[in-house]
Structure 1
Amino acid sequence: MDVLKTFVFDNTQYDVDIQIVDGKPIFRADKLGKIIGLKKIRSSIQHFDQDEKVVQPIDTRGGHQDCTFLTEMGVYRLLMRSDKPIARPFQKWVAHVIATIRETGKYELSKQLDDLKRQNDNEKADLLMHYKSQQEMETHSVLLGGFENKKLVYYGKIADIEDGKSLIKIGPTGNIRQRVGSLRNGYGSFTVFRVFECQEHDRFERFLHQHVDIKRYRKPIYNGKVSMETYAMNGEELKKAIGIAIRNVVQYRRDTEQIRDIKDIAEDVVQAEVAKVFGEKRKTRGSEEVQQESKRGHNTSLGPKIQIYTEDGNLVKTFNRLIDTLRDDQWKFDEKIYRAGVVKACEGDFIYAGYRWMKLDRNLDDGTVQQLRPTILKKNIHKGRVALLSSDESEVAELYPDFKTAAEQNGFLSTGALQKRRNKGDKIHGHVIRPWSECGDELQKSYRGPFPDKTTGGRHTRF
């Protein structure tokens, strides 16, 4: 039996944990140490006898934990060694507590304290429930006002049920206010807490209902009402269900921004090909788009936000829209990036410009960290000059503009044949083939021969 008693000295309250074991009280040692000012209670009671100290399990937030308690003899021994002013009053208080326990067989105050604690816990739970309900209603009202007459899939709560779970309904609608009214008439209560706007809301809803990590929680019957769109979920299960929607809703959006993105991707591809042919620097669309938007005075649709992550999943930056990733004043990437590359990187799970890329629902906070799927390693294609090194790799014998030239000059029918021999670690006519960029500063500086033209996009470019 656990008892919590309060000792008061010099207008200061001290909580004393007492356990009743076999009708005898034992006192928690670390609490006693704090009262009489002992910082190292363990060393003070290290040599106490077995009838002066015992080890008992106690409940903590992390589970059961062993804790040292002192018997009546141990308490008196500890207090007699203290010269603090508080020691003598505390010793009298302990004697009074022990005498009361002996007289009644248990400490009657413990029952009162248990009742009071239970009452306080109930009051806290009621207050928390009221606050949570108020927050839910505020979110509900905001969503109904902000997404009226829009095609969407909603997540709503019907009621809190057993085992800490809530009854959740997922469904599509083109009129959220009217739909909520109908559901409240049917279930008696319904509160919307999340919506996902998308043109293909019916298809998106079917996808969610068929997802293995959602349908496993299906609860088709509630208070006699049958529905295949209701689920019994706890907090963690609901969090996963929302995450599934966040990661997949973009596939069911066909709005103006996505159409414009498709056109811009095609334009990027065309401009890149033109630049290869004419050797021109591709113009960025950034400044032009800003002017067009400022003339309209508003954005019709911004599309999802774009996030960049390190390969191990740490969030680096969140861009407000895709076009911002192309602007130098927003972020300096190590290489030139293109809209098409960003889109492919978001969908392809590979590293682009040194980062992993993800789309983020516009309704989410910029600091939201998403779970990345495993990174797909792209084949490393070496471009640029290629060096022919000596057998001991101490000097550069010859420098080629690219692997194609190196293959031709060394009697190979194709670049692939040369690469295959190189990857196996074979030497080429007693020499080692290596990309110039991998030769290192010292080896590059020691080279005194001619530098051939580099090739870019199939064309030779003089440097």
Structure 2
Amino acid sequence: MNEVLTVIQETEILGKKIKVYDNIETPLFLASDVADWIEHSQTSKMVKSVDDDEKLMGTLFLSGQNRDAWFLTEDGLYEVCMQSRKPIAKKMKKEIKKYLKSIRLTGAAIPHGREQEMVNYYFSSLSSDLQGKIVNELIEKNKELQTFYDDLMNTEGLMQMNTVAKELGIGEYTLFAYLRGKKVLFYDKDMVNVPYERFRKEGKFAVKETPCHDGKIRSVTYSTKKGLDYIRKLLRKDGYYDIPIVS
């Protein structure tokens, strides 16, 4: 059975109610919602136009029952927005991109400074003491996540692949072999793992020429945060994790 997906963030953009599912680092969007946002009259046709890597069948809990439904990844959402001729589609892409970026800057799905507001809205029935504990936990979690990503990224926003492997809970050599198998990386003339040009252009990876101990200059592959999220999504899709990854 598919994992039951839940809403982790809601807002209103361009007069449309926007729901974000699963987690903020690799968010999912209900395909029928997306069709409504960009005024697409045929959800099934829209879903067919999306690459297989950018859509998945998930489970929602509605009206007391689990129901299967199509979801789009963030890239899948942007893909259908770019395909659409509706004026609202391009605007929607721009605004959702801006919205997700503003959330990620805090390192969590709850914007920094709005923890109390969120608790008041969603947990109004709880005692004030319990609400206070939840607020404090959210504030502390936001701080921890921000510190984590600050440490993870270097000044150029790049991560070494061994750091990526540790974050994903997989051995570095296993990760390289996996990414070669997925046609994300390949061996260059020096037998160094480097990304295909497509993934560089998409901002998922970067390659730096780095001096080595033997005096030679070799290519070294780095991942961006977008690349980390992309690898995590691939691993999850291929069943590398027995439980959902919490970002």
Q: What TM-score range do you get, normalising by the shorter chain?
A: 0.3 to 0.5
What TM-score do the two structures reach when normalised by structure 1?
0.23
What TM-score do the two structures reach when normalised by structure 2?
0.42
Larger Rg, first or second structure (1 or 2): 1
